[in-house]
């Protein structure tokens, strides 16, 4: 999966958590890097921060949908994550700070086969 967040320390923590639970993780630190990664490789899930330099999460979300990428997206934000999920039409939202096991549970739910048609 692809994780996009501008905070290096937080990104390290998320990667350690996901990798220790057996996920493969690619990282980007802003929307532009995130879009480049999406063009280069296919991902089953995107975990996306909102407040980032250069290109923020909202802009990246709209751009990736415009480009036809239909992978599920989890918004990960310190401020109004749920309202951003509704606004953008993303599949899930998690507020910072979060419990790492809630992160894993939500990711597993999004990747479950019956979650494909979930809005």
Interacting residues toward another protein by CB under 8 A: 6-7, 9-10, 12-14, 16-17, 20-21, 51, 53-54, 77-80, 95-101
Between helices 57-66 and 31-40, what is the axis angle to 10°? 30
* Distance in Å, CB of 71 to another protein, minimum: 23
Longest CA span, the chain: 35
Q: Which is nearer to another protein, 19 or 116 (CB)?
A: 19
Minimum distance, C-beta of residue 76 to another protein, in the bound complex (Å)? 9
Judged on CB neighbours under 10 Å (0-12, 13-18, 19+), 3 is: buried
CB nearer to another protein: give 51 or 105: 51
Nearer to another protein, 26 or 95 (CB): 95
Residue 69 contacts by C-beta under 8 Å, 6 or more apart in sequence?
A: 38
Distance between CA atoms of residues 47 and 66, nearest Å: 18
CB of 98 to another protein, least distance (A): 7
């Amino acid at each position: 999966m692809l994780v996009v967040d501008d905070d290096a320390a937080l990104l390290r923590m998320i990667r350690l958590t996901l990798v220790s639970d057996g996920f493969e993780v690619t990282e980007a630190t802003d929307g532009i890097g995130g879009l480049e990664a999406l063009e280069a490789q296919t991902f089953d899930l995107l975990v996306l921060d909102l407040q980032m330099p250069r290109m923020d999460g909202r802009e990246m979300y709209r751009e990736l949908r415009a480009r036809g990428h239909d992978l599920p997206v989890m918004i990960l934000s310190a401020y109004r994550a749920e309202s951003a999920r509704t606004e953008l039409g993303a599949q899930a939202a998690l507020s910072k700070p979060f419990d790492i096991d809630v992160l894993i549970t939500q990711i597993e739910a999004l990747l479950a086969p019956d979650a494909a048609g979930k809005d």
